[in-house]
Amino acid sequence: MTELFEVLEYTIDEISSQKAKYVIQTDPVKKAIDIMRDNRTGCCLVVDSSMNLCGIFTERDVLNYIIDKPEYLDQPVEKFMTRNPQTIGGNESMVIALQMMSNGNFRNLPIVNLEGKPTGMIAISDIMKFIAGRLNEK
CATH level 3 topology of 2-137:
CBS-domain (3.10.580)
Q: What is the pLDDT of residues 78-92, one digit of tens each?
A: 999 999 999 999 999
Cα-atom radius of gyration of the chain, to the nearest Å?
Answer: 16
pLDDT of residue 2: 59
* In the chain, domain spans: 2-137
**Cα gap 28→62, rounded to integer Å:** 13
pTM of the model: 0.90
Has residue 40 got a pLDDT over 60?
Answer: yes
Could you tell me the CA-to-CA distances from 122 to 67, 70, 74, 76, 79 in Å, in that order? 25, 29, 28, 25, 24
